[in-house]
A and B are shown apart, each in its own frame.
Chain A
Amino acid sequence: MWLVPFASMVVIVLVLLRPDPQLPIPTPNRIVTDMVGRTVSIALPFKGVAVTWAARASDYLSDTGAPEDIVRMGAVKREILTRSLLGTIFPALLTKDTIWDTKPISRGRGPNAEVEALLAFKEASVFLGGYRMVPVFERVGLPVAGLKWDDKSNDVMLIGLAKMHTAISGHPERGEVLIERYWQAFHLLEQELQPARLDSQPRVLYMSSMTKNKRSLGYWNRAHPFNVYFPRAGTENAVLDASEMGSPDAERILLTDPDLILLRDTLVIPNSQSPAEFMADPRWQGMKAVAARRVYRLPTAFPVDMRGIGLMPVMVRLMAELAHPERLRPNVRTMLRDFVLADFGYRMSEDEIDAALKLDENGDSAGFDRFTRDYQKDKS
């Protein structure tokens, strides 16, 4: 008698030997190759993109300049976008409530738990998601473009993202333009800076200054994809460590003793120390950069919400100008204004540029006045 329940278990398990049902491939469709190297068939007419976990709507926005594509946004908080440059450029996004109704693609539950909700979600033609969740989507046959975040070079990632995003939105030619301008900007910087002829390369510590709670002190070490930008700015990463270690302690930071310190933006790290607080913190008093007051807050525009291929060269230019003020003419304001205008057709006002460059926070830091709007007028 006891055998009966177990025998029925066997029968039920055998159900799984049946071939999996698949959602039919949509026709007509647009074929896109994603960053993982898969082909994705996107149903036409194009209904839009749902941005899920581990993908950033801001990347898609800055790469495509097409806010109308986005039907759901999972991984960007509304208030972060409100305070960011993208929020200024695309104000309509902030008021469109349906985009922010993230129930089916909220961050916490993950794709495994919510795969059913995704199946029931019919408003998007394609999902954007980190490549680890691709198998989950594939299991049920949902169209997903997979992103890959673990490349060692940020160049590869940005180019891959730009290609994929612009292909999804149906304007791959825009991607080509962005990639070309990206390389050209670095080429121009190299010509002006001549990094090969520098006698010294200032050592830069690029850290997320989540230091108010005195615990988390993340920095970019040599294993970080952004490491490729240090030599282009004529600098050296002050962190020698190339392991995957995430959180160094305060002593390790002291040991790096860099020539200048760049603090990450406050948008995603609300508890971060401002440059003034950092320079007043007794822990950091022995550091060369603090003595020279070369501690800076990075601009709002990057790398957080516009870390895409468009504005990254502006960030590297800013780093280069801070490290080598004598060799480079001040060009950051112009670059920012021109790039934003080219990419989004939006003309930034002088006040908006001031805010984006965080002039208020960087007031006490040495040499940041070259980014003020009147800097050249004073000189001339």
Chain B
Amino acid sequence: MSDELVVDPRTSAPISFEPSFLDRSGWVMPLLLGGALLLAMLLSLCLGAYPLPFLKAAQIVGHLALPWVLPENPPWTVEELIVVQVIRLPRVLLATFAGLALGLAGAALQGMMRNPLVGPDLVGVSSGAAFGGVLAMLVGWTFFGMVGMAFAMGLLAMACTFGLSHLVRGGVQTMALILAGVFVGAFFTALVGIVQYVADNVQLPGIVYWLLGSFVGADKGKVALIAVPVFLSGSILMLLRWRLNVLSLSDLDAQSLGVNVRRLRWLIIALVSLLIAGQVAVSGIVGWIGLVVPHVARMLVGPDHRRVLPASALVGALFSLGLDNIARSVAQQEIPVGILSALFGTPMIAVLFWKTQGKGWNRE
């Protein structure tokens, strides 16, 4: 690329507005991704030990979603209704919402930290939330007590990461941030280990399996546990999504454009912590999705956070739903989703790393 100005400043002839490809996809992508997600959810409802054909599953969900009373003599058996409504739907929703939360959190974190190489598990917030979660399990708190504790500890971990990276050399810097995230993550993982050590034999297997990350044991309560934080903090994040563009410039730059950088950053940190707390409370640490998915979203809709945030949420949901389907159908024994996400996520991020080197990744 030549380092020459293309335009003569003296002649500023008006140029007609031409919508770019991305502008045209303004309605294509949301419908495409949303449709894919709905279809994937329906297909996931047909997956499992109880035989249930696709059309019947769709029929049942259709009836359930409409605000009318179920028919007196339904064309389905009670068992089939139970399978869809009580067993599979909560699980599908759990996987979907965990993916939404991770995708949103990842995109918001990457934008806020101006660094495409961070994810909720890399800045320590997942470990912090996990520590809060096991602590809550130890003292016997459940439901929103657990989310609250996970939120508090996740926030603490994020604050530690930021504090530490500031100590290194005033200002938020890429390498310092990643290293600080690793330190803080390791520290909270050690705290989780201590809780595991202290926990008695009855609690231990539950804690260990939960930590591996899994959607096993989905029910209404768990769906509420993650749906509330996702809707709450997700909708605020969605409203803030254009601000993320501005925040992703330098501090000074964003400040000079009239953004209260400090306040906005802490707001986003709190929202991300809440998202991750909800996700960790229902499914333990599920790594890598939050790191990989925003990249995929950016490939689909470009870098503008107005589109990246929702797209990343939907791609995250698709990803997590797909992993969960693999987890519960491929092997004889159910594989924890946390293991699968690392198994699929790390090669993907390696490829992305190689493909996009020199595009804002390797520079300060």
Which residues of A approach B to under 8 Å, CB–CB? 1-2, 4-6, 8-16, 18, 20-24, 104, 106, 108-110, 112-117, 119-120, 136, 139-141, 150, 244, 246
With A8-B38, A24-B78 in contact, is A120–B85 under 8 Å at CB? no
Binary A-proximity of B22-45 (CB < 8 A = 1, otherwise 0): 000011001101100110010000
Residues of A within 8 A of B89 (CB): 12, 15-16
A20-B33 contact given A13-B227, A112-B216, A113-B216, CB 8 Å threshold: no
Tell me if B231 is interfacial: C-beta within 8 Å of chain A: yes
The 3 closest A-B pairs by CB, nearest first: A5-B34, A117-B49, A2-B310
Judging by beta carbons under 8 Å apart, are B334 and A110 in contact? yes
A42, B29: Cα distance in complex, Å: 54
Quick check: A15 and B50 within 8 Å, CB to CB? no
Shortest Cβ distance from residue B306 to the other chain A in the assembled complex, whole angstroms: 8
In the complex formed, the residue of B with least CB distance to A120 is: B50
- B343: interface (CB < 8 Å): no
Would A4 and B31 count as touching, CB distance under 8 A? yes
Complex Cα distance, B311 from A53, in Å, reads 42
Tell me whether A5 and B85 are in contact (CB under 8 A): no
- The smallest C-beta distance from A366 to any residue of chain B, in angstroms, reads 35
User: Is the pair B48, A116 in contact by a Cβ cutoff of 8 Å?
Assistant: yes
Inter-subunit contact A18/B314 (CB<8 Å): no
- A117 to B64: give the CA distance in the assembly, Å: 23
* Chain B contact surface mostly: helix
B79 partner residues in chain A, CB cutoff 8 A: 23, 119-120
Contacts of A106 in B (CB 8 A): 332
A16-B78 contact in complex given A113-B216, A244-B201, C-beta closer than 8 Å: no
Whether B333 contacts A21 by the Cβ 8 Å rule is no
Q: Report how far A183 CA is from B33 CA in the complex, Å.
A: 69
Contacts of B88 in A (CB 8 A): 116
Identify the B interface with A (CB < 8 A): 26-27, 30-31, 33-34, 37-38, 41, 48-51, 61, 64-65, 70, 78-79, 81-83, 85-90, 93, 96-97, 100, 200-202, 216-217, 219-220, 223-224, 227, 231, 234, 238, 307, 310-311, 313-314, 328, 332-334
**Distance of A139 Cα from B91 Cα, bound (Å):** 13
Note all chain A residues with C-beta closer than 8 A to B31.
1, 4
Minimal beta-carbon separation of B349 from chain A (angstroms): 25
Asked whether, in the complex, the Cβ of A16 is within 8 Å of the Cβ of B333, the reply is no
Told that A6-B313, A20-B86 touch, could you supply 18 new A-B pairs with CB distance under 8 A?
Answer: A1-B26, A2-B238, A2-B310, A4-B31, A6-B234, A6-B310, A9-B96, A13-B93, A15-B65, A16-B89, A18-B64, A21-B86, A110-B334, A116-B50, A119-B79, A120-B50, A141-B82, A244-B201
A139 pairs with B86, CB closer than 8 A = yes
The answer to whether A20 and B85 have CB atoms under 8 Å apart is yes
Contact of B333 among A13, A108, A119, A141 (CB under 8 A): A108
- Residue pair A12, B50 in contact (C-beta under 8 Å): no
Task: For residue B206, give the distance in angstroms from its CB to the closest CB of chain A.
Answer: 9
Which among A5, A104, A112 is the interface contact of B217 at CB below 8 angstroms? A112
Residues in A whose Cβ lies below 8 Å from that of B48: 116
Pull 25 A–B residue pairs with CB atoms less than 8 Å apart, ordered by A: A1-B31, A2-B30, A5-B314, A6-B234, A6-B310, A9-B97, A10-B231, A12-B41, A12-B89, A12-B93, A14-B65, A16-B89, A16-B93, A110-B334, A112-B216, A113-B216, A115-B87, A116-B50, A116-B83, A117-B49, A119-B87, A120-B50, A140-B87, A141-B82, A246-B201
Are A16 and B220 in touch, CB under 8 angstroms?
yes
Contact B223 A16 (CB under 8 A): yes
Closest chain B residue to A117, Cβ basis: B49
Q: Name the distance in Å between A225's Cβ and chain B's nearest Cβ.
A: 13
Measured in the bound complex, the distance between the Cα atoms of B316 and A264 in whole Å is 51
Complex Cα distance, B227 from A113, in Å, reads 22
A8 to B35, CA, bound (A): 10
Q: What's the minimum C-beta distance from B321 to chain A, rounded to whole angstroms?
A: 12
Is the CB–CB distance between B200 and A244 below 8 Å?
Answer: yes
Pick from B85, B216, B238, B334: contact of A18, CB below 8 A.
Answer: B85
Give every chain A residue within 8 A of B201 (Cβ-Cβ).
244, 246
Q: Is the beta-carbon distance between A109 and B333 smaller than 8 angstroms?
A: yes
A298 to chain B, nearest CB (A): 23
Which residues does chain B contribute within 8 Å of A12, judged by CB atoms? 41, 61, 65, 89, 93
Chain B residues whose C-beta falls within 8 Å of the C-beta of A18 in the assembled complex: 64, 70, 85
Question: What is the bound-complex CA distance between A113 and B47, given in angstroms?
Answer: 12
Among A5, A16, A119, point to the contact of B83 (Cβ < 8 A): A119
Bound Cα distance from A247 to B48, whole angstroms: 38
Q: Bound complex: CA of A253 vs CA of B285, how far in Å? A: 38
The distance from the CB of A106 to the nearest CB of chain B, in whole angstroms, is 8
Closest to A5 in B: B34
